[in-house]
Chain A
Amino acid sequence: MELIELIKKPWPWYVAGPLIGLTVPTLLLIGNKSFGISSSLRHICAACFPANISFFKYDWKKEVWNLFFVAGVLIGGFLATQFLENPNQIVISEKTIAALQELGIRDFAGLMPADLFALENVVSLKGFIFFVFGGFLVGFGTRWAGGCTSGHAIMGLSTLQLPSLIATCCFMVGGFVMVQVLLPFIFKLF
Chain B
Amino acid sequence: MATNQTNSNTVSFPEHLVCDAPNDMVKRESTLGNLKYLVVGVMFGIVFVKAEIISWFRIQEMFRLHSFHMYGVIGSAVVVGMISVFLIKKFNIKTLSGETVQFHPKKFMRGQIYGGLLFGLGWGITGACPGPLFAQIGSGYVAVIVTLLSAIAGTWTYGLLKDRLPN
Q: Footprint of B on A, CB under 8 Å?
A: 7, 10-42, 44-45, 49, 51, 53-56, 58, 62-66, 68-81, 84, 86, 90, 92-93, 95-96, 99-100, 108, 111-113, 116-119, 121-122, 127, 129-164, 166-180, 182-183, 186
Interface size on B, residues (CB 8 A): 133
Q: Which of A27, A28, A76, A99 has the largest number of chain B CB atoms within 10 A?
A: A76
Chain B residues near A173 (CB, 8 Å)? 116-117, 120
User: Which chain B residue has the least Cβ–Cβ distance from A116?
Assistant: B56
Inter-chain contact A139/B154, CB cutoff 8 Å:
yes
Per the 8 Å Cβ criterion, residues 111-167 of B in contact with A are 111-131, 133-144, 146-160, 162, 165, 167
B9 to chain A, nearest CB (A): 12
Inter-chain contact A163/B143, CB cutoff 8 Å:
no
A84 to chain B, nearest CB (A): 6
Inter-chain contact B151/A139, CB cutoff 8 Å:
yes
Inter-chain contact B47/A20, CB cutoff 8 Å:
yes
Main secondary structure on A side of the interface with B: helix
A32 to chain B, nearest CB (A): 4
Checking B20, B57, B140 against A90 with a beta-carbon cut-off of 8 angstroms, the contacting residue is: B57
Chain A residues near B141 (CB, 8 Å)? 112, 117
Inter-chain contact A147/B20, CB cutoff 8 Å:
yes
A86 to B29, CA, bound (A): 37
B96 to chain A, nearest CB (A): 5
B127 to chain A, nearest CB (A): 7
Chain A residues near B64 (CB, 8 Å)? 93, 95-96, 99, 179-180
Chain B residues near A80 (CB, 8 Å)? 45-46, 48-50, 135, 139
Inter-chain contact A138/B151, CB cutoff 8 Å:
yes
Closest 3 CB pairs between A and B? A174-B120, A72-B41, A76-B45
User: Which chain A residue has the least Cβ–Cβ distance from B135?
Assistant: A77
Inter-chain contact B77/A20, CB cutoff 8 Å:
yes
Inter-chain contact B147/A138, CB cutoff 8 Å:
yes
Inter-chain contact A11/B125, CB cutoff 8 Å:
no
Per the 8 Å Cβ criterion, residues 57-113 of B in contact with A are 57-64, 66-82, 84-85, 87-88, 93, 95-97, 99, 101-109, 111-113
Inter-chain contact B51/A10, CB cutoff 8 Å:
yes
User: Which chain B residue has the least Cβ–Cβ distance from A83?
Assistant: B46
A39 to B110, CA, bound (A): 19
20 contacts between A and B (CB under 8 A): A13-B70, A17-B76, A20-B80, A21-B84, A28-B95, A33-B23, A72-B42, A73-B48, A76-B41, A117-B144, A118-B143, A131-B126, A134-B122, A137-B122, A137-B125, A144-B119, A154-B81, A158-B81, A179-B59, A183-B124
